[in-house]
Amino acid sequence: MNEQQWRRRSTKVVWHPYTDIAAFEKTAFPVVRRASESTLYEWNGRPLLDGISSWWCVNLGHSHPRLVRAIRRQAGLLQHTMLGGVTHPAAVELAERLTRLAPKGLRHVMFGSDGSMAVEAALKMALQYWTNRGETERARFIALKDGYHGDSLGAVGVGYVPAFHRPFRAAARPAWRAESPHCNRCPRKQRPDTCGAACFASMEELVRERHRRCAAVIVEPLCQAAAGMRIYPAEYLRRLRALCDRYGLLLIADEIAVGFGRAGTWFACDQADIRPDIMTVGKGLTAGMLPMSATLATDAVYDTFRSRDGRARVFCHGATFCGNPIAGAAALAALDTYKKEKVLEGLPARMRLMKERMAGVAAALDDSPLGALGMIAAVEIKDSAGGGARALRIARLAREAGLLVRPLGRVIYLWPPLTVSLPDLWRMTEILRNAALDSSKNERLVCFKRARSI
Ligand SMILES: Cc1ncc(COP(=O)(O)O)c(C=O)c1O
């Protein structure tokens, strides 16, 4: 079996997500056989640096021996049991560990199997919290424009991204939208370190006008990732917490992308020193080893779900595989690894190098703006008309040179494993910079050829 045969078989039967089928069938996409640390190995053995941690989750690198061992051990003991009416040690230990790690006061954990499922749980918890209290009018959500919270229909309602979700719009219940804190393209031309989150006025107005019919505000804290890595200041979150408190609204922090060190701290909310009422985590929870997510809630939320006065208040939500023991063992091993290998302590050196080197990529792209938060660095190509095509060209050139990246529109970004070695990080940024430079040469060549052919 050669690579081309695998590709042919794949495009025949595998429905690849977020993939333009017609274009994809014509490309020599990677066929990955194995992976180790920050590198994927293609079928023919060719190394391909994983610049996006395989969709933002492989925080501790591929094939981490501690995690692999934990999965093997658990697989020999107990592979699955439901959590409805039953418990098992991995679920208990993991829930205890998560509540100790999360912002103080998030004391109850509902497990899910992926991020969207955790968001659905969060939204439904918020809705039922109010009905449990007899306030049935509170059935809407407030969210940020261009936020993203997953692809299930409830998540699409609060995280509608036109490019992703247009065909489902009619079936989703849209949240009320506050202005996105888009610091790289601030319409007020202010700087995030001095603006005092002026764009917060739009959120304030929405909450003031609509809070009586609203169950919760949901945000991606500090970074609207899928919108193109829009990084915004902690001050926005502090003000949002205070605003929700003033109007008695629940605050949901969706930490699925940025939790577990990605933002430079355990959770992005830690940087604002706030505690949401409900928090979702996924991706880095098992360091991308197995599908698992969790929704954490405070006592104040949880306690409304106790049946009383003859009225049942059961939370009728749960999926077959929520809290799966093997995924739980992987998550416990991941939490051990974050701690034992002092992963967060090792971030500053990597963050410095990545920011410095990505500034070189931004310079190569006509001084396009660079945004950086923890182990996320993104350059939004200035050219609004041709930026998307150029970003795709850069990704193609990078792949040819041994780096896997996937631009978001005209945003080209790096999201490497948190444990990436400094030489691998240097190489990733070098490949990106060269690709950025070559992409303009290519463009000129194409223009020249086109001009000659006219
Ligand atoms: C902030 C955020 N929430 C939710 C999700 C959905 O997670 P999943 O893809 O695991 O369903 C994502 C995925 O990228 C995300 O970035």
Give the residue-averaged pLDDT of 190-214.
92
CA dist., res. 329 & res. 208, Å (int): 44
Confidence of residue 443 (pLDDT cuts 50, 70, 90): low
Please identify every residue annotated as catalytic. 18, 148, 254, 283
Cβ atoms of 220 and 246 closer than 8 Å: no
State the average pLDDT for the chain: 95
Candidates 391, 431, 375, 423; CA nearest to 57 is 375
Say what the pLDDT of residue 369 is. Answer: 94
Give the residue-averaged pLDDT of 154-159.
97
**Can you spell out the DSSP letters for 43-112?**
TTS-EEEETTHHHHT-TT-BT-HHHHHHHHHHHTT-----SSS---HHHHHHHHHHHHHSSTTEEEEEEE
CA dist., res. 448 & res. 109, Å (int): 59
Pick from 256, 258, 286, 293 the residue to mutate for probing ligand 1's pocket: most ligand atoms within 8 Å of its CB: 256
Whether residue 437 is predicted with pLDDT greater than 50 in this model: the reply is yes
Domain 67-340, what architecture? 3-Layer(aba) Sandwich (3.40)
Confidence of residue 449 (pLDDT cuts 50, 70, 90): very low
CA dist., res. 388 & res. 407, Å (int): 8
Please tell me the chain's helix, strand, coil percentages from 3-state DSSP, rounded to the nearest 5.
45, 15, 40
Taking the CA of residue 114 as reference, the ligand 1 atom at the shortest distance is 10
Say what the pLDDT of residue 162 is. Answer: 87
Say what the pLDDT of residue 45 is. Answer: 97
Give the residue-averaged pLDDT of 294-303.
98
Domains 31-59+345-453 and 67-340 share a fold: no
pLDDT in tens, 224-233: 999 999 999 9
Give the residue-averaged pLDDT of 208-225.
98
Confidence of residue 442 (pLDDT cuts 50, 70, 90): low
Say what the pLDDT of residue 161 is. Answer: 86
With a CB cutoff of 8 Å and minimum separation 6, the contacts of 87 are none
CA of 149 to the centre of ligand 1 (A): 5
CA dist., res. 198 & res. 145, Å (int): 16
Residue 348 CA, distance from chain mean position: 20
Say what the pLDDT of residue 448 is. Answer: 43
Residue 426, SS3? helix
Atom 7 in ligand 1: residue holding the nearest Cα: 115
pLDDT in tens, 368-407: 999 999 999 999 999 888 999 999 999 999 999 999 999 9
Say what the pLDDT of residue 297 is. Answer: 98
Cβ atoms of 259 and 276 closer than 8 Å: no
Taking the CA of residue 291 as reference, the ligand 1 atom at the shortest distance is 10
CA of 140 to the centre of ligand 1 (A): 21
Say what the pLDDT of residue 453 is. Answer: 34
Whether residue 255 is predicted with pLDDT greater than 80 in this model: the reply is yes
Helices 65-75, 325-340: axis angle to 10 degrees equals 150
Task: Report residue 194: phi and psi, to 5°.
Answer: -125, -5
With a CB cutoff of 8 Å and minimum separation 6, the contacts of 379 are 358, 361, 362, 365, 368, 369, 370, 371, 411, 412, 413, 436
Say what the pLDDT of residue 191 is. Answer: 86
Give domain limits for the chain: 31-59+345-453, 67-340
Say what the pLDDT of residue 452 is. Answer: 39
Cβ atoms of 17 and 43 closer than 8 Å: no
Say what the pLDDT of residue 415 is. Answer: 98
Confidence of residue 194 (pLDDT cuts 50, 70, 90): confident
The enclosing H or E element of 439 equals: helix 422-453
Whether residue 441 is predicted with pLDDT greater than 90 in this model: the reply is no
Candidates 185, 211, 218, 216; CA nearest to 199 is 185
Say what the pLDDT of residue 189 is. Answer: 86
Candidates 196, 348, 160; CA nearest to 264 is 348
Taking the CA of residue 225 as reference, the ligand 1 atom at the shortest distance is 16
In terms of CATH, what superfamily is 31-59+345-453?
Aspartate Aminotransferase, domain 1 (3.90.1150.10)
With a CB cutoff of 8 Å and minimum separation 6, the contacts of 169 are 160
Say what the pLDDT of residue 196 is. Answer: 81
Say what the pLDDT of residue 387 is. Answer: 93
Whether residue 444 is predicted with pLDDT greater than 80 in this model: the reply is no
pTM given for the model: 0.96
| Ligand 1 pocket, CB under 6 A | 114-116, 119, 148-150, 220, 225-226, 254, 256-257, 282
Say what the pLDDT of residue 383 is. Answer: 85
302 C-beta neighbours (distance < 10 Å), count: 18
Half-sphere exposure of 414 (CA within 13 A, CB side): 35
CA dist., res. 291 & res. 203, Å (int): 33
Say what the pLDDT of residue 195 is. Answer: 86
432 C-beta neighbours (distance < 10 Å), count: 29
Confidence of residue 193 (pLDDT cuts 50, 70, 90): confident
CA of 17 to the centre of ligand 1 (A): 13
